[in-house]
Amino acid sequence: MSCPVYHGADTEDPGLRPRTPHSLRVTHSPELNPGLLPIDWLLGAWESDEPGEGSFPSIEPFRYTETLHFSHVGQPIIIFMFNAFEAESKMPLHQECGFIRMQPGTNRVAFIIAQNSGLMEIEEGELTGKQLSLKTDSLARISFAKTPKVKQISREFQLRSDGRLEQTVSMETDNQPLKQHLHVIYRRPS
């Protein structure tokens, strides 16, 4: 599953142009909705600085790389796409896409997420300075999702003083309590 993110309708290859009505194409950079100013530091592309580390009691520890893309179309939402790859083989591991919303006039933030594993979730939390702390509010999954079933996810993003972005993800399943699952630090691509 992939959530398209249109950065513009102009491309050198006409076969790569979005197949959408002209009114849906973004042909310029729209002004950022003022409601998103507190989290504008997320916008743009990020890539793992070094391979991230993943672990959980039910799997072997692993290393991965990841790219993050945060964009907007002028509405009070941020659109995101995360792509993770096995560090050595570069084989795809995991994808997430969705939307980020802020409750107007507050520091409340919500991530609406679809994962390629068949898990859909809403994570809600708070923005404190340049740190987002989120946890599962609701989950849905396809009927044939693999087990053990995820029961909760908590996620923290922090923009560090060196300009890098750090993410820590913890997970609870139906047979394991909430434990750290992923940790990675990103930088802006050069």
pLDDT tens for 59-92 read 999 999 999 999 999 999 999 999 999 999 999 9
Q: Could you say which residues of the chain have pLDDT below 70?
A: 1-27
Q: Which two tokens stand for residue 184?
A: 């990675």
Closest CA to 51 of 20, 90, 78, 14: 90
**For 145, left (φ over 0), alpha (ψ -120 to 50), or beta?**
beta
pTM for this model (two decimals): 0.85
pLDDT at site 1: 41
Helix (H) or strand (E) holding 4: none
pLDDT at site 27: 58
Q: Which two tokens stand for residue 110?
A: 């919500």
Cα–Cα distance for residue pair 148/128, rounded to 1 Å: 33
